[in-house]
Structure 1
């Protein structure tokens, strides 16, 4: 795509990087076939190609964002399916991140939109505040239909409906500690406990630590780490996002300096995509560029790390039919597609792929709150596809997907690591208490 940026504009390193990305786009339109919003809405400006035109025009003309551009950029899920299908290697992720930061600097949103975004930024990244907000949301749930009927308040209705009926007690697993390996130590890793996930489902981190310890891996939960910054990063709040990134880099490098680190493990794939990009996010910071690059190189999804280990034979019989939902941040953001399914099969599960597996479920960080109608359409489409495989359980690697999909199906949905922990010596997850192996008709007749 031809550009007309001036030499003065290209002195800005963010603009120069975006210009190189834009120039790679050849208008082919491959991205439109896999873009969830284009597939849903059918509007060219709600496709990656259309958004690239809007971003190009906005940045080339050095103008503040307008309502039209903001509308279509806001509708982007950052699912990154376009990057998987793009034959030209367009880094749409970095381009839309730059656009969102430009929007945050130059566009004054309507009052309710500003307030909702500020509430999200002030609560979700902070576990104690998030826990308190969930308690308030449960009390306010009867107001959801009223809020849903008033357009500016629809995000509040979405928040109330997504809030779980039960919030787990604060878990010790998320406190700074060293969890020793059973037997000789084979590896040493740091674990990101996270923000929203640590509150919504601490069982994920508990299963991770148990499994890794049994496999001879020492797990360190560092002091000082916290939210990865993805939630505010995707709302264009770059200063806050980089602040979170620097804090985590400091925490993990302290652990690495103490006794070395083989990996930094992440159990929420949305966080993993962002942490693996810290090297880019902090590339212009002389105090952090090198350290951030090291952190990004050490970052691994938990299933990515487990796939590198030599696993023993399964201990428990786990022959259930499991639909594997590959989170967008896993398959498109991190390009991890085979490892989780191979691990589940190795653990004794029968794994089924989900039709239209490349399409987003509509969670996408805060998207299911800020764009509730599109998110609900995508969720329902995803659930229909999952249920068409008739699974006994659903496995995925992202807490946002678990919350989104779980709100519309009765099929138990678990983190992949919970199933692996059970298979390799842990207890059966409570959500599977009433689920028994399915007897195939041929076997039943033979008996």
Structure 2
């Protein structure tokens, strides 16, 4: 793709990077075949290629974003399926993130939408505040709030799974010593939303790693990865949160890896090196953090997990989150671990298509999100599993109310298969024969 940015524009490192990405695109249109919103809407502007044209025009002309720009770029899930499909290696993630920042800075959204985005960016990264909001939301849902709350707020209540679980000991900053001979030392990102909705995920991770001889550190000062705000264009917030994590991990001492149990967070933390590439004070530390970051299944695959109590006759449909398969390019490790643990693994048709969760997408674009959720749920039903395994909290919440079988984190099954407790969601569920 030809571009005509001025030298003054290219002096901005973000513009210069976007210009390089734009020039990589050859207009082939392969991306349209796997883009979820294009599959649903059939509009070129709701495809990666169409959005690239919008972004090019907006940035090249140096103008404020328009309502049209915002509408079509907002509809992008950042599922990154286009990056898996693209034969030219267009780094769409960095391009659309830059566009979202530009939109946040130059486009005046309607007041209700502006308020909702700011509220989500403020509340979700703060675990205690999010827990309090979940209590209020659960109460509103019980009182029929879906019918009397306006617009997207009413739709959001449908996603509320119930009253939040109490804070778990495993999410407090501390060191969990290895059992027996120590084989490794890792930091675990507790996260922000996951400790409220599914604290058992981190608990299972720590149990499993400790049994395998790995010391686990939950550092003081580490929290939200910054992804939720980053994908709404609030880069000042996302960089502040990322900086806090980097500094917290720097103080933790020697680490073999930084482990993430939510693949959406993992995609962002692995990008810290890029996010701070122009920061002279943090550039090196950020690159080191990105290099050490692993999804928990990546690390477990390197370590090896022995199955001591493998459950039999359980048909598991593995849902590969977009941030796992497209963002981090992790495909085989979780599947291989589940098979080795004794589970009967089945693939979900259209496994490359997003479930519609995508961070805050299901709150900001509930119509499109619910269509994708129902499409994914129908594909899951086709393979008739006993349960669904995945590696991302967002997907778990998105699909949990749409399917008739439990959905659990991959690490919970691996913990169970190697001597840990059965995941609570599976208690009392019948097994296939």
- Alpha-carbon distance in structure 2 between the residues aligned to 1:249 and 1:70: 31
Q: List 4+ stretches of structure 1 deviating above 4 A.
A: none
Provide the aligned length of Structure 1 versus Structure 2.
431
Give the one of 203, 225, 228 matched to 2:225: 228
Query: In structure 2, what is the equivalent of residue 445 of structure 1?
Result: none
Contact 1:181 1:219 in 2 (8 A): yes
Q: Taking structure 1 as reference, are residues 217 and 318 closer, same or farther at Cα in structure 2, changes over 3 Å only? A: farther
Contact 2:266 2:295 in 1 (8 A): yes
- Alpha-carbon distance in structure 1 between the residues aligned to 2:430 and 2:402: 22
Unaligned runs of 5+ in 1: 148-152, 440-447
Query: In structure 2, what is the equivalent of residue 361 of structure 1?
Result: 355
- Alpha-carbon distance in structure 2 between the residues aligned to 1:361 and 1:177: 35
Query: In structure 1, what is the equivalent of residue 176 of structure 2?
Result: 179
Query: In structure 1, what is the equivalent of residue 147 of structure 2?
Result: 145
Contact 1:316 1:424 in 2 (8 A): yes
Contact 1:303 1:417 in 2 (8 A): yes
Give the one of 294, 305, 308 matched to 2:299: 305
Give the one of 395, 402, 410 matched to 1:401: 395
**Residue-by-residue CA offset, 1:30-83 (whole Å, 9 max, x unaligned):** 000000000011000000000000000000000000000000000000000000
- Alpha-carbon distance in structure 2 between the residues aligned to 1:145 and 1:406: 21
Shift of 1:27: 0.5
Query: In structure 2, what is the equivalent of residue 131 of structure 1?
Result: 131
- Alpha-carbon distance in structure 1 between the residues aligned to 2:156 and 2:171: 24
Asked if residue 40 in structure 1 is aligned to residue 37 in structure 2, the reply is no
Structure 1 counterpart SS, 2:162: coil
- Alpha-carbon distance in structure 2 between the residues aligned to 1:311 and 1:418: 13
Query: In structure 2, what is the equivalent of residue 59 of structure 1?
Result: 59
Contact 1:158 1:368 in 2 (8 A): no
Structure 2 counterpart SS, 1:8: helix
Q: Taking structure 1 as reference, are residues 401 and 146 closer, same or farther at Cα in structure 2, changes over 3 Å only? A: same
Contact 2:25 2:90 in 1 (8 A): yes
- Alpha-carbon distance in structure 2 between the residues aligned to 1:339 and 1:435: 27
- Alpha-carbon distance in structure 2 between the residues aligned to 1:164 and 1:176: 27
- Alpha-carbon distance in structure 2 between the residues aligned to 1:82 and 1:134: 34
| TM-score normalised by L of structure 2 | 0.98
Shift of 1:17: 0.2
Query: In structure 2, what is the equivalent of residue 101 of structure 1?
Result: 101
Shift of 1:9: 0.8
Query: In structure 2, what is the equivalent of residue 189 of structure 1?
Result: 186
Give the one of 315, 329, 344 matched to 1:335: 329
Contact 1:392 1:411 in 2 (8 A): yes
Shift of 1:316: 3.6
Unaligned runs of 5+ in 2: none
| TM-score normalised by L of structure 1 | 0.95
Query: In structure 2, what is the equivalent of residue 282 of structure 1?
Result: 276
RMSD of aligned C-alpha atoms?
A: 0.9
**Residue-by-residue CA offset, 1:409-434 (whole Å, 9 max, x unaligned):** 22100000000000001011121112
**Residue-by-residue CA offset, 1:363-395 (whole Å, 9 max, x unaligned):** 000000000000000000000001110000000
Query: In structure 1, what is the equivalent of residue 87 of structure 2?
Result: 87
